[in-house]
Structure 1
Amino acid sequence: MSGQDWSAFRALLKELLRDSATRRLIEQRTDIAPRTLARWISGETEEPDSKRLSSLLDALPQHQSSLLMAIYKARPDFHLPLLDNTRRLAEDLPLDFLVRLLETNANTPHNLHFISIVHLIFLQLQATIDPNHLDLLIMVAQCTPPATPDAPVQSVREIIKMTTHQQQFLQAGARFFMGAESLSGYSVSLCQAGIVQNVREEQHLPVLRPSNKSSAAAYPIQRGGHVAGCLTVSSPQPDFFSPRLQYILQIYAHLLGLAFETHQFYPPDRIRLRSMPARDMQRPYLATIQERVLHLMQQNALLSRVQAEQCAWQQLEEAFLDLS
């Protein structure tokens, strides 16, 4: 392979191709023929072309870091593009999905609008980013409305969460609060994406460390420079979030902005997140949410259920802030 040292890349690729699942991923996600791979390993090909190298990296996000290191030894000037070709992007954002999304946004009754939009996006997203059923966790968190109009936003709360291909959505008693201690809180506070490729090794970004998740990414849901919450995706594999996948998730975060009402977006100077207590401490309080809602409605017959629920969540937030 020319005068460059591709030996590390050849050895790594040979090792990866011993796994039948890896070979299948390359076959499904790239146009790299088995004979081409064999030539790369043997050294018969002088130098792999950049487009196919990028395609290989995109197909194997869990091995991207090690592959990049091997490629850099031979090609220090190699750069991974943010996007593949237009055809691939059209597959990830198919026109029929976009049409259904716009129709749902235009025609769904107000009381069903949020859940209908989010469910439609979640179902398309899981098909796009998890074709191999890796059990990714997809979650939307919302800024907790302050108790008074001038008060800052002090936390975000999980609204909808699902494990891909299981179709089991979050129940009210498991909608945890998060704050400055979380990757979701980081994303909302700074209005920018937060990517953690290995949660056990991360030293700079705040991130929870569940035993079954190895990498995570969070994207703010924005409109007009204001923020309503964030989209968070967690994977059991480290180094899962390739540059292309990061770009696609950013697009889906933009689409989720359709689900929120204008008053649910807050300017960045009103976002002042504090730390929330650990989830084990939250659970006993969250189990009382329905009792709190009923109690509030009994105390004030003029309250709608939606208003009572918002008051109950604000009560819980205040209790958690006191605990913190």
Structure 2
Amino acid sequence: MQEARTWRELLGQILSDPKERQHLIETLNITPITFTRWVSGESDPRPQNLRQLINALPQKYQEQMRKLVKEEKGVGEIAATPQETSLKAIPAEFYARVLVARASTTENLRFWSTCHLILQQAIGQLDPERRGMSIWVVRCMPPSGPYKKVRSLRESVGLGTAPWIGSLEQNAMFLGAESLAGNVVTLCRPGVIQNLDREHNLMPASRVDYEKSVAIYPILYAGRTAGVLLVSSTQVDYFLSQTRTDLVQQYADLVALAFEPQDFYMPEDIALCVMPSHKQQKEYFAKFRQMVAETMLRAATKNQPVNNMQADMLVWQKLEEELLQIPARQTVRDYSETPAVSIIKLY
């Protein structure tokens, strides 16, 4: 690759790789035409976008990009010292946007579209430098089982910045009593871990790739819980700042507007069970979309048609029932394989 003389030339060279181009488009949520204008000099990126661009680049290009940006008059100061957002609260005008969206969106799309709008704003404010963050709205599954209790949580709507992909929903899984999210729902109070490498034994936590610190806040309404807002970072101690955790709390409160009153459960209605690891769950979710299509087809042949959202929930419920049996079967197997002398020692 020829040595780039300006940051725009370097960006053009990077964008010539289709994989890198797609990665930057998804990570920065910027259209291809915008990148073309930056490369040609037709327009300049906003300060925040330029800093996000540098942090989203592969490591091998970041230092060179900073050097070239500093050399361009008028934009050099932008990348010299990356700054954390000065906003200490959700902008007032954004609350108005959420209320308008909630009022004008059809019932079938209201939950997803409202959550997605809020998460886009949240990830931009909580991770302005694109250091690496994932945000999930995790909701309670409907009560089930012989006692009609909420037995698990499911990751519902999620967004990420690199190294996570932009839209996380295709990777959605169940969480249960073994997770920090489950602990937050059960106790109805926030949970924050600043260093998962160091503190993983202090409280329940089902960890995912890249996750170094996490902040989880319950989604509440009138003393009842609908789930949690789960925010993970690639940075250790990312949630030491009171300003940052206050923001997570504010966004958890705002996400509550996406739920209907019947989606919130009293503490006595929640009895979370242990869910298998994400690795085990992936095998069951491999054919999720196929299962949804088959569910809709079967319903149509019985003259009981269901829409995509209803079929989704039916499949989630089917998978929940199957997965809840795994820890129980594992416990029975472990018990049966334990030597008799060991069993005696337990008593």
Both structures adopt the same fold (TM-score exceeding 0.5): yes
Contact 1:138-1:164 at 8 Å conserved across structures: no
Give the superposition deviation at 1:23: 8.8
The answer for the alignment partner of 2:324 in structure 1 is 321
* Residue aligned with 2:303, SS: coil
Pick from 168, 174, 178 the counterpart of residue 175 of structure 2. 178
TM alignment of 1:56-205, pairs within 5 A: 88-89=87-88, 92-147=89-144, 151-164=148-161, 168-172=166-170, 174-202=171-199, 203-205=201-203
Between the two structures, name the one with larger relative contact order (CA 8 Å, sep ≥ 6).
1
The answer for the alignment partner of 1:72 in structure 2 is none
* Residue aligned with 1:161, SS: strand
Counterpart-to-counterpart distance in 1, 2:176 and 2:145? 19
CA distance change for structure 1 residues 247 and 198 in 2, over 3 Å: closer, same or farther? same
* Residue aligned with 1:137, SS: strand
The answer for the alignment partner of 1:247 in structure 2 is 246
Counterpart-to-counterpart distance in 2, 1:233 and 1:290? 26
Give the superposition deviation at 1:209: 3.2
The answer for the alignment partner of 2:310 in structure 1 is 307
CA distance change for structure 1 residues 119 and 228 in 2, over 3 Å: closer, same or farther? same
Give the superposition deviation at 1:21: 12
CA distance change for structure 1 residues 163 and 116 in 2, over 3 Å: closer, same or farther? same
CA distance change for structure 1 residues 21 and 198 in 2, over 3 Å: closer, same or farther? farther
1:81-133 deviation per Cα after TM superposition (whole angstroms, max 9, x unaligned): xxxxxx943xx311221111111122211122112211111111112111111
Which stretch shifts more, 144-153 or 255-264? Answer: 144-153
Unpaired runs of at least 5, structure 1: 1-19, 30-58, 60-86
Give the superposition deviation at 1:192: 1.0
The answer for the alignment partner of 2:260 in structure 1 is 261
Counterpart-to-counterpart distance in 2, 1:143 and 1:196? 22
Q: Does 1:282 align with 2:281?
A: yes
Counterpart-to-counterpart distance in 2, 1:190 and 1:303? 39
- The alignment yields a C-alpha RMSD, in angstroms, of 2.6
Contact 2:159-2:167 at 8 Å conserved across structures: yes
Counterpart-to-counterpart distance in 1, 2:285 and 2:208? 20
Counterpart-to-counterpart distance in 2, 1:149 and 1:318? 12
Contact 1:200-1:209 at 8 Å conserved across structures: no
Counterpart-to-counterpart distance in 2, 1:301 and 1:281? 35
CA distance change for structure 1 residues 117 and 212 in 2, over 3 Å: closer, same or farther? same
Contact 1:133-1:164 at 8 Å conserved across structures: yes
**What is the one-letter code of the residue matched to 2:210?**
N
Give the superposition deviation at 1:153: 0.5
Q: % of aligned pairs identical?
A: 36
Give the superposition deviation at 1:171: 3.7
1:216-257 deviation per Cα after TM superposition (whole angstroms, max 9, x unaligned): 011111111111111111111111102221111101000000
Counterpart-to-counterpart distance in 2, 1:167 and 1:243? 27
The answer for the alignment partner of 1:217 in structure 2 is 215
**How many residues in Structure 1 have an aligned counterpart in Structure 2?**
244
**What is the one-letter code of the residue matched to 2:261?**
T
The answer for the alignment partner of 2:59 in structure 1 is none
Counterpart-to-counterpart distance in 1, 2:254 and 2:147? 28
CA distance change for structure 1 residues 118 and 192 in 2, over 3 Å: closer, same or farther? same
Counterpart-to-counterpart distance in 2, 1:24 and 1:216? 26
CA distance change for structure 1 residues 196 and 130 in 2, over 3 Å: closer, same or farther? same
Which stretch shifts more, 132-141 or 199-208? Answer: 199-208
Unpaired runs of at least 5, structure 2: 1-76, 328-347
Counterpart-to-counterpart distance in 2, 1:279 and 1:175? 9
Which stretch shifts more, 276-285 or 300-309? Answer: 300-309
1:254-292 deviation per Cα after TM superposition (whole angstroms, max 9, x unaligned): 000011111111111111111110111111211222333
Pick from 24, 36, 52 the counterpart of residue 81 of structure 2. 24
Give the superposition deviation at 1:308: 2.9
* Residue aligned with 1:201, SS: helix
Counterpart-to-counterpart distance in 1, 2:212 and 2:303? 47
Counterpart-to-counterpart distance in 1, 2:320 and 2:230? 21
Contact 1:159-1:170 at 8 Å conserved across structures: no
Contact 1:146-1:314 at 8 Å conserved across structures: no
* Residue aligned with 1:258, SS: helix
